[in-house]
Structure 1
Amino acid sequence: MLNSLLPPLNQSDHVPLYFQIKNVIAEQIREGRLASGELLPSEYALMQMFNVSRATIRQALGELEMEGLIERRQGVGTFVKAKKIEPEIIKLTSFSEDMRSRGLKPGSKTLEVENILPDAQVMNHLGLSAKVPVWCVRRLRFANNEPIGLQYLYIPPWLKVDPEELIKLQSYYELLSRKGIKLAHASELLIARNATKREAELLNIKTGRPLLVADRVTYDMRNVCVEYVQFIYRADRYQYRLTLVA
């Protein structure tokens, strides 16, 4: 709930009033005093709270929306936006491990398990010189029961797996561990694109909304490829952070 004991605005300050209001609300969101999904007061209530015009409130809300801190739903109201899931790209982890490390409950729904003839892209990533069948597992991934991504997993033909294992699959890396396979490293390529109609339906977003796509190829200790996987994340719920050193 927006704290009623708000700091007074400095009318004589060179900082615009809308910017001061934006900073006050942003601070309460970042400090957790305004929780994810919480409904903000109406524009009229905010006008009364800060003793400013509607135009000033709308400008402040517009800034907060641009920063990804709130979302305005027509006919419903303005809500605090759910915090994005942000992995640290320093350690090779599975989706399930990543979610658990953030206090989130990972989930998975298998959409399809197929034995397919790979296209040129999949062959290249798996290091195949001939077109031989590979297993493809398409899954919808959840964090705290919210759909946040799609995952298309391609398994190299040398790795023998039971289709029943794949249908019930929760964590591929845990499956590899049970088979005695130790992971060494992975390469990952990130791109951005818009959601197709089918992707939007599965992820509960609008067609054309931005997606973050990560193509990963993972290798074991022998430097042999053990997977090519494509993660397709909702850009409003997932982001990457890189730490660069000089």
Structure 2
Amino acid sequence: MIDKNSKLPIYYQIEEWIKSEIEKDSFKIDKLIPSERELIDLLGVSRHTIRQAIGNLVNQGYLYRVAGKGTFVKDRNLIYKENRYSSFSEDMAYLGKKLENNLLSIEVDKASQSIANRLSINENDPVIKIKRVRIVDGTPLSYEMAFINRKIVGEMDRDVAASSLVKHYEDILNLKIGYANETIESVLVTEKTANKLNMSLHSPLLLVRSKLFLDNGQQIHYTKNYFRGNKYKFTIKLNR
């Protein structure tokens, strides 16, 4: 379990062991992990080393503390929304997950009537269409189709299309994001999407449709995201 002759630091070995216990579901989401004293007795290490390992895992988003109760396993598939728009890239960074974008295609086309309506533009206006699979910690998590108002963003190359679109809007184009409207519904995976996400047919998906607006009210893009239903969850805070 812990190799004190290893060149790897003891606290790092403890971190990896706790992560493996979480992955095996031995330490369950929102349940207490063993106390410091129990871990000291089990692993034969000092209190300082245990606290260092647990502190690092809290910072990495694997664990969370509740005063007076102890340390619990955090649900790293849970996205918490509280009156603030955040991009998928930002959500994954917050959860400490590694995100890769597998760009399937990028093209400029004339907007169909349907896309024009969803993007608040005129039919036949130029639209950048992007299709990509978003891979999180090595697992295909979502299949995304993005339709972007080309009159606002101009040219877009493959490197940009394979990165964070919101970061490009804000950091490169200096656009100010105002707000987003999102709808979420449960659907069953089709054969086409199942192949892209390595899923079996009739598995559950969350379909998230999002319209992103600038602070001047202009809509910059419309996206359809198919998320694996067993790997993506929302908690949304609603004030009365």
1:183 aligns with 2:177: yes
> Could you tell me which of 135, 156, 159 is aligned with 2:152?
159
Deviation at 1:121, TM superposition (A): 2.9
SS at match of 2:132: strand
Paired letter, 1:176? Y
> Could you tell me which of 143, 167, 174 is aligned with 1:174?
167
Change in CA separation of 1:244 and 1:167 when aligned onto 2, cut-off 3 Å: closer
1:118 aligns with 2:118: no
> Could you tell me which of 177, 198, 205 is aligned with 1:204?
198
Paired letter, 2:180? A
Who is 1:36 aligned against? 23
Deviation at 1:162, TM superposition (A): 2.7
Deviation at 1:216, TM superposition (A): 0.5
SS at match of 2:193: helix
Change in CA separation of 1:197 and 1:104 when aligned onto 2, cut-off 3 Å: same
SS at match of 1:162: coil
CA contact (8 A) 2:106 2:161 kept: no
Q: Distance in 2 between matches of 1:168 and 1:228?
A: 14
Q: Distance in 1 between matches of 2:112 and 2:123?
A: 11
Q: Distance in 2 between matches of 1:38 and 1:241?
A: 22
CA contact (8 A) 2:153 2:169 kept: no
Q: Which one has the bigger strand percentage?
A: 2
Deviation at 1:166, TM superposition (A): 5.5
CA contact (8 A) 2:207 2:226 kept: yes
Q: Distance in 1 between matches of 2:160 and 2:217?
A: 27
Structure 2's unaligned 5+ residue stretches are 2-17, 27-74
1:95 aligns with 2:88: yes
TM-score by length of 2: 0.66
Deviation at 1:96, TM superposition (A): 1.0
Change in CA separation of 1:225 and 1:215 when aligned onto 2, cut-off 3 Å: same
1:233-244 → structure 2 map (5 Å cutoff): 233-244=227-238
Q: Deviations over 1:66-121 (max 9, x none)?
A: xxxxxxxxxxxxxxxxx562212222111111101001111101001122233333
Q: Distance in 2 between matches of 1:230 and 1:84?
A: 23
Change in CA separation of 1:161 and 1:92 when aligned onto 2, cut-off 3 Å: same
Who is 2:226 aligned against? 232
Q: Distance in 2 between matches of 1:96 and 1:123?
A: 26
Change in CA separation of 1:111 and 1:172 when aligned onto 2, cut-off 3 Å: same
Deviation at 1:182, TM superposition (A): 1.1
Who is 2:133 aligned against? 140
Structure 1's unaligned 5+ residue stretches are 2-30, 40-82
Computed over aligned residues only, the root mean square deviation of the Cα atoms, in angstroms, reads: 2.6
> Could you tell me which of 92, 100, 108 is aligned with 1:107?
100
TM-score by length of 1: 0.65
CA contact (8 A) 1:113 1:166 kept: no
1:2-13 → structure 2 map (5 Å cutoff): none
Change in CA separation of 1:244 and 1:168 when aligned onto 2, cut-off 3 Å: closer
CA contact (8 A) 1:141 1:151 kept: yes
Change in CA separation of 1:209 and 1:219 when aligned onto 2, cut-off 3 Å: same
Change in CA separation of 1:168 and 1:219 when aligned onto 2, cut-off 3 Å: closer
Q: Distance in 2 between matches of 1:85 and 1:187?
A: 22
